[in-house]
Amino acid sequence: MTPLVRSVRSADTLTRDALAVLQPGFTGTTAPDWLLRRLGEGLVSVGLFGRNVADPAQLAALTGRLRAEREELIVAIDEEGGDVTRLEVRGGSSFPGNHALGAVDDTALTRAVARELGRRLADCGINLNWAPSADVNSNPGNPVIGVRSFGADPQLVARHTAAYVEGLQSAGVAACTKHFPGHGDTAVDSHHDLPRIAADLPTLRARELVPFRAAVAAGTRAVMSAHILLPALDGEHPATLSPAALHGLLRAPATEGGLGFDGLIVTDGMEMQAISATYGIERGSVLALAAGADAICVGGGLADEDIVLRLRDALVRAVRDGELPEQRLADAAARVRALAGRTRSADVREGAAPAPGIGLTAARRALRLTAAGPYAPLAEPAYVAAFTPLANIAVGDETPWGVAAELARLLPGTETATCTAEAAAAAGTAALVDGLLTAAAGRRLVAVVRDVHRHPWMAEALRTLLAARPDTAVVEMGVPQAPPQGALHLATHGAARVCAQAAAEALTDQRVSPGE
């Protein structure tokens, strides 16, 4: 009977380890029974998304219910602030994003913003944040990073990444610095396809890796891998599946040319097309663990019990078939459990004092105004033309953006029109702009754009509008790469709610209390 007992115990341990390395999501604002059951069977992490959040009280009750099932639990969320928010997914963030903080370039401010964000997460029972983005925005045409980056200068990105990690973790929330080894020099969104970075290794070390070194030095508890192909490191596998990138570069000691990181390595979402369309989620997860990843992030798109069981069984099968060393899975599970134990509750916080107005303060400081001449502040209801690009998946289309709502609070009666690429193509630019001018009916115009340098249709529509109404104010809520245009040009460096509030204040020459 002894061999049988040993076999059963081994199988149980293997299954628990396979569950331990998963970071799944779920639907709804309460914990489903299947999730609670799997926590009892060995699951150690849960990922939250906007669909799981109604308000802070509900979120705290949800995380409390999860911890009632398993006290040492990682509850993770993708809360970057700025354009990527889950806590305030339906209203817009109270914090500007990285690009605004980089524009101010005050590391004390970045640290304070991250600390307050961390305090709010900890109050809701969240102890791992899939942030900050440490990507250097070296390609201004990047479709997925943009204002999520602190900027294009590696040293600036490095010092603000470190400050963000320090601020967040001082509030008791583990930072997960992303997207290693750097997603900034891509022209493809890895949610849809596999990006390729052609930079050589010296360039990577001098540019992409600089902020990650700073994050490691600052003590980031986790690092998230990117689904990007870097032939200088590995010509076959994207970084998430590459031993050369994860084990050889991120884990290796500095004496061997690595970053010497000893914390938790988390994959980006495995259902993203860069992985799932080429390898499949099960095969991709096995390869990621074998390459050196410790935690498999899944649940942004696939969020039910089936995906958890599929991945659990795929990992167990890979160990039994000799594709994944059992010790590698055991080591990964041990790292996950260690972080869960280290961040077991919000009680580890160091007394973070509330700073409710810090986000608006930062957004105001990030605002950059360029006037073509004297500009009279808006004093009557205005007409806002919002030139709206398709939102990338990381940002999502649930979160409102633009200045119309904030302007309407200051100038009741302000109206807005949304203009898209499809509308411009269907009607033609001239007809689209004529419609805006007719609807404005002589009122002052505000044109709102987002990364106008990346969207030819938007640039053409804006030029046509300004030719007809040169007194129009222009608000750029993306990366301000294009030259300033308009009678007054405002660069907010992001589309968070507080960025819109700062812009509305500037347009009307009114300043209101934070009210957060």
What is the Cα–Cα distance from 261 to 249, expressed in whole angstroms?
A: 9
**Hey, what are 239's tokens?**
């970084």
Q: How far is the C-alpha of 248 from the C-alpha of 231, rounded, in Å?
A: 14
CA distance 381 to 185: 42
Q: What is the DSSP string of 4-56?
A: HHHHHHHHHHHHHHHHHTEE---SSSS--HHHHHHHHHT--EEEE-GGG-S-H
Identify which of 62, 61, 94, 57 has the alpha carbon closest to the alpha carbon of residue 79. 94
Sheet holding 174-180, edge to edge: 45-48, 74-77, 128-129, 174-180, 222-225, 264-266
Determine the Cα–Cα distance for residues 511 and 332; give it in Å rounded to an integer.
Answer: 51
Contact 88, 152 (CB under 8 A): no
The angle, 0 to 180 degrees and rounded to 10, between the axes of the packed helices 429-440 and 456-468 is 50
Query: Which of 83, 189, 268, 451 is the catalytic position?
Result: 268
Q: Which of 153, 148, 217 is nearest to 178 (CA)?
A: 148
Q: Among 99, 179, 191, 227, which one carries the catalytic annotation? A: 191
Q: Which of 188, 287, 277 is nearest to 240 (CA)?
A: 287
Please choose, from the candidates 101, 133, 300, the residue with its C-alpha nearest in 3D space to the C-alpha of residue 226: 133
In the block, tokens 């930072």 appear at: 175
Question: Rounded to a whole number, what is the largest CA-CA distance in the chain?
Answer: 90
- Residue 189: phi, psi to the nearest 5? -85, 120
Given a contact cutoff of 8 angstroms between Cβ atoms, the answer to whether 406 and 500 are in contact is yes
Q: Are strands 22-23 and 296-297 parallel, antiparallel or unpaired?
A: parallel
269 vs 252: CA distance, rounded Å? 24
Query: Residue 430, Cα to own-chain centre: how many angstroms?
Result: 36
Concatenated DSSP letters of 179-191 = EET--TT-SS-TT
Active site annotation includes 191 = yes
Regarding beta strands 222-225 and 264-266, do their DSSP bridges make them parallel or antiparallel, or are they unpaired?
parallel
At CB < 8 A and 24+ separation, what contacts does 149-155 make?
Answer: 149/98, 149/99, 149/102, 149/184, 150/98, 150/99, 150/101, 150/102, 150/211, 151/99, 151/102, 151/103, 152/184, 154/206, 154/207, 154/208, 154/210, 154/211, 155/210
Residues known to be catalytic: 191, 268
